[in-house]
């Protein structure tokens, strides 16, 4: 028995079994409209059961890859594989169809369904089969009819970073996705894609198969060209049930100078955000006073100061540092705070929009020689994130003065409520 005859018998046997299973699907197909007519006859029942992958390809295309066994099954050197996508399990409703020429030495056959043709139903079906060229005679199905279900909204993993419209140092980009629902337990296939805006030119692409127990992350290879806007995509698929996320989560972010070349000194150089409180009573409301080296002065009582920003109760200022701060032995960064020992919390991040990791809080205002402001020091090891470029300084005065949560409380000077920040310094 030669290989072709053996193969034919195997396929016919499988086809008979498959046909018995599909009687129900055939009944379901009666009376439904056909959205787009097929140019190919219906392939015979049966399947060779070839392995495949499904996920997002370049840009926003749905990509289906069928792996042929060596040597590729064929009767002639030149033939084509056809993908048919349907909204129905009997495959009579063709939503999309694509043929790819295949040579005898081809291993992976890649189909790309354009983003605007990807079904948005809760489930769709697809099958790959081969046809002979040039007659376009249909031959055996290479895959079974695959049901691909789309995850419910409650099951969708959450993209943590980068946030939309974020700024990320070009050498610190990291996609982080928090698994949820059915995707919080494996086996799950994650695809990440990074594209340059606005042409959606693919920069990097990777698959990871994992059994996630926590956030899943992906770092593109190399350093991104800075100053460019990018879009990041991800998709997830359970490899056992074939449930996948159909809508791409898009993050548009900008690459800023990488840590390895960013050196504007050891102090904060830019105010990224501020959330000042008690602004109806505070006299010191310019967040830019936290930039540069410590320069606070007291011009004389009562409360005649220069060079500070009063945060107000629970207020904050977020700054970009002149250099990225890496965790080293001991303390790594210093906050200069003027007037008494007021509570200060420091949160750190690698990108402008977070996520933010707290280093805890401390009483802040240890005496400094030759300066008006005192200081407190923080260790990046307390938060476990390194290096960092963005710092958020938050007032925690309420801890040093229990009960002082009002902007006009007698424990809080209404002209300088909350911690009074003079400067922020990298000790590295
Ligand atoms: Ca340290
Ligand atoms: Ca200052």
> Which listed ligand is nearest to 319 at the C-alpha?
2
Quote the ligand 1 centre to 330 CA distance (angstroms).
4
Quote the ligand 1 centre to 380 CA distance (angstroms).
5
Which of 147, 177, 206 finishes a domain? 147
Q: Provide the CA 343 distance to its chain's centre, in angstroms.
A: 34
Q: Which helix (H) or strand (E) holds 16?
A: helix 3-21
Q: Which two tokens stand for residue 400?
A: 């040093």
> Which listed ligand is nearest to 424 at the C-alpha?
2
Quote the ligand 1 centre to 381 CA distance (angstroms).
5
Residue 146: partners with Cβ closer than 8 Å, 6 or more residues away: 52, 54, 125, 126, 127, 242
Quote the ligand 1 centre to 162 CA distance (angstroms).
25
Which of 114, 147, 180 finishes a domain? 147
Question: Does 11 reside within a domain?
Answer: yes
- Does residue 297 share a domain with residue 217? no
- Does residue 288 share a domain with residue 251? no
Question: Does 118 reside within a domain?
Answer: yes
Residue ranges in 369-411 assigned as alpha helix (H): 397-400
- Does residue 125 share a domain with residue 196? no
Question: Does 25 reside within a domain?
Answer: no
So what's the pLDDT on residue 408?
Answer: 73
So what's the pLDDT on residue 25?
Answer: 25
The DSSP secondary-structure symbol of 257 reads: -
Q: How far apart are CA 311 and CA 144, in angstroms?
A: 64
- Does residue 138 share a domain with residue 177? no
Can you give the pLDDT of all 428 residues of the chain as single tens digits?
444 444 444 444 333 333 323 222 222 222 112 222 233 333 344 455 677 777 665 555 677 888 776 654 444 445 678 888 888 888 888 888 988 877 766 778 888 887 677 766 667 888 887 766 556 555 566 777 887 776 666 667 777 788 888 999 988 988 888 887 777 776 777 767 677 766 656 666 666 656 667 777 778 777 777 777 777 766 677 777 666 664 455 577 888 999 999 999 999 999 999 999 988 888 899 999 999 999 999 887 777 899 999 999 899 999 999 999 999 999 999 999 997 888 999 999 999 999 999 999 999 998 888 999 999 999 999 999 999 999 999 998 765 455 566 777 766 677 888 899 999 999 99
Residue 228, domain extent: 153-256
- Domain total in the chain: 3
Kindly report the backbone phi and psi dihedral angles of residue 27, in degrees, each rounded to the nearest multiple of 5, phi listed first: -65, -40
Quote the ligand 1 centre to 4 CA distance (angstroms).
68
Residue 257's nearest CA partner among 291, 277, 227 is 227
The answer to whether the CB of 17 falls within 8 A of the CB of 111 is no
Q: What is the CATH number of the domain that holds 182?
A: 2.60.40.2550
So what's the pLDDT on residue 373?
Answer: 95
Question: Does 292 reside within a domain?
Answer: yes
Q: Which two tokens stand for residue 406?
A: 């009002």
Which of 102, 128, 147 finishes a domain? 147
- Does residue 363 share a domain with residue 271? yes
Question: Does 21 reside within a domain?
Answer: no
- Does residue 117 share a domain with residue 194? no
Q: Which two tokens stand for residue 378?
A: 């923080």
Question: Does 169 reside within a domain?
Answer: yes
DSSP letters of 295-309?
A: --EEEETTTEEES-E
Q: How far apart are CA 397 and CA 402, in angstroms?
A: 8
Burial annotation 231-259 (CB, 10 A radius, 16+ → b, else e) = bbbbbbbbeeeebbbbebbebebbbbebb
Residue 383's CB is within 10 A of a number of other CB atoms, namely: 19
The answer to whether the CB of 323 falls within 8 A of the CB of 264 is yes
- Does residue 128 share a domain with residue 225? no
Residue 26's nearest CA partner among 90, 94, 71, 101 is 90
So what's the pLDDT on residue 8?
Answer: 44
- Does residue 195 share a domain with residue 331? no
The answer to whether the CB of 249 falls within 8 A of the CB of 275 is no
Quote the ligand 1 centre to 428 CA distance (angstroms).
9
Quote the ligand 1 centre to 238 CA distance (angstroms).
40
Quote the ligand 2 centre to 294 CA distance (angstroms).
5
> Token pair 């990074």 is at which residue?
194
So what's the pLDDT on residue 205?
Answer: 61
Residue 319's nearest CA partner among 423, 420, 392, 253 is 392
The answer to whether the CB of 220 falls within 8 A of the CB of 251 is no
- Does residue 411 share a domain with residue 272? yes
Q: What is the CATH number of the domain that holds 90?
A: 2.60.40.1930
Question: Does 24 reside within a domain?
Answer: no
- Does residue 401 share a domain with residue 298? yes
- Does residue 169 share a domain with residue 113? no
Omega before residue 302 within 30° of 0, cis: yes
Q: What is the 3-state secondary structure (H, E, C) of 115-162?
A: HHHCCCCCEEEEEEEEEECCCCEEEEECCCCEEEEECCHHHCCEEEEC
Quote the ligand 1 centre to 185 CA distance (angstroms).
35
Q: How far apart are CA 84 and CA 102, in angstroms?
A: 16
So what's the pLDDT on residue 385?
Answer: 96
- Does residue 175 share a domain with residue 69? no
391 CB-contact burial (10 Å; exposed 0-12 / middle 13-18 / buried 19+): buried
Question: Does 162 reside within a domain?
Answer: yes
């Amino acid at each position: 028995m030669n290989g072709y005859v053996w193969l034919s018998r195997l396929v016919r046997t499988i086809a008979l079994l498959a046909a018995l299973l599909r009687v129900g699907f055939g009944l379901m197909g009666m009376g439904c409209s056909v959205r787009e007519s097929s140019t190919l006859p219906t392939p015979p029942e049966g399947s060779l059961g070839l392995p495949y992958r499904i996920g997002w390809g370049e840009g926003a295309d749905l990509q289906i890859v069928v792996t042929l066994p060596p040597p590729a099954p064929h009767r002639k050197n030149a033939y084509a594989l056809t993908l048919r996508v349907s909204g129905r399990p009997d495959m009579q409703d063709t939503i999309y169809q694509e043929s790819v020429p295949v040579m005898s030495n081809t291993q992976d056959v890649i189909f790309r369904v354009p983003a605007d043709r990807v079904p948005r139903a809760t489930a769709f079906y697809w099958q790959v089969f081969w046809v002979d060229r040039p007659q376009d005679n249909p031959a055996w199905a290479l895959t079974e009819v695959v049901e691909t279900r789309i995850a419910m909204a409650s099951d969708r993993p959450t993209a943590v970073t980068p946030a939309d419209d974020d700024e990320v140092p070009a050498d610190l980009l990291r996609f982080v996705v928090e698994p949820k629902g059915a995707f919080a337990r494996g086996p799950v296939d994650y695809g990440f894609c990074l594209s340059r805006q606005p042409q959606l030119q693919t920069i990097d692409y990777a698959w990871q198969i994992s059994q996630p127990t926590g956030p899943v992350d992906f770092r593109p290879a190399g350093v991104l060209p800075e100053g460019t806007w990018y879009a990041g995509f991800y998709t997830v698929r359970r490899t056992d049930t074939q449930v996948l996320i159909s809508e791409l989560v898009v993050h548009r972010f900008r690459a800023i100078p990488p840590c390895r070349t960013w050196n504007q000194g050891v102090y904060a150089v830019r105010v990224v955000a501020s959330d000042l409180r008690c602004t109806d009573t505070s006299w010191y409301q310019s967040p830019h006073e936290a930039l540069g080296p410590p320069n606070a002065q007291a011009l004389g009582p009562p409360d005649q100061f220069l060079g500070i920003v009063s945060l107000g109760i629970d207020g904050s200022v977020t700054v970009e540092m002149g250099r990225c701060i890496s965790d080293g032995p001991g303390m790594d960064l210093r906050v200069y705070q003027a007037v008494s020992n007021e509570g200060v919390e420091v949160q750190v991040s690698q990108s402008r929009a977070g996520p933010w990791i707290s280093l805890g809080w401390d009483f802040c205002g240890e005496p400094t020689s030759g300066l008006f402001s005192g200081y407190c020091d923080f260790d990046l090891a307390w938060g476990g994130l390194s290096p960092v470029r963005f710092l958020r300084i938050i007032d925690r005065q309420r801890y040093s003065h229990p009960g002082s949560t009002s902007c006009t409380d007698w424990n809080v000077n209404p002209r300088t409520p909350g911690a009074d920040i003079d400067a922020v310094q990298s000790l590295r």
